[in-house]
Amino acid sequence: MIGKLKGTVDEIGEDHVIVDVHGVGYVVFCSMRTLSNLPAAGEAVVLLIETYVREDLIRLFGFGTALEREWFRLLQSVQGIGAKVALSVLGTLTPSDLANAIALRDIAMVSRAPGVGKRVAERIVTELKNKAPAFAGEAMGTIGLKQELGEGVAPAPVTDAVSALTNLGYSRDQAANAIAAALKNAGEDADSAKLIRLGLKELSR
């Protein structure tokens, strides 16, 4: 099994990169996000690898971070999702964006990925809602509040404040981040008016 490749970029294709390791070229399939972040041909590259071995083929999938690789595995634990759809999702959403979308039950955000319809997005959100927080990355600090909002169990002032900010045109994720920051300053017993005021201050920074 191959877990990591360290070499030089030989060629970048539509859905893959060829990594030259001491004269041997490895074809590595990647998400569009990973491909767009690769250095130019001839430059050094390190990719974390997930190796798939089938009776008739060996296929390598490459990732820039361990968190992205974990999400690749996690997405394929959802019924009906294979490597192609998992890469499509990761090419559209960063790991933290994906964790946020699942916590908020934002099916529209998940279904932005090519090849992911509403039904598949619903399955991702439903089946991964309890697993997503462990893989939230930089969203770790706000994921708990977003889960409460997604499940409809957040305190009324928090729900009202997030709703008010979304009515002003901010995304649910932006609003939740701002109110999470406001809660730190205002305390758990703050009313919605105070949270909205502090939330708007956060968003104007």
10-residue block means of pLDDT along the chain (205 residues)? Answer: 93 96 96 94 95 89 94 93 94 90 89 92 91 73 70 76 86 82 75 81 79
Residue 73 in tokens: 């595995």
The answer to whether the pTM exceeds 0.85 is: no
> Which residues face 7 on adjacent strands?
45
113-137 CB burial, b ≥16 within 10 A, e <16: beebeeebbebbbebbeeebbebbb
Q: What is the pLDDT of residue 123?
A: 94
Q: What is the pLDDT of residue 138?
A: 66
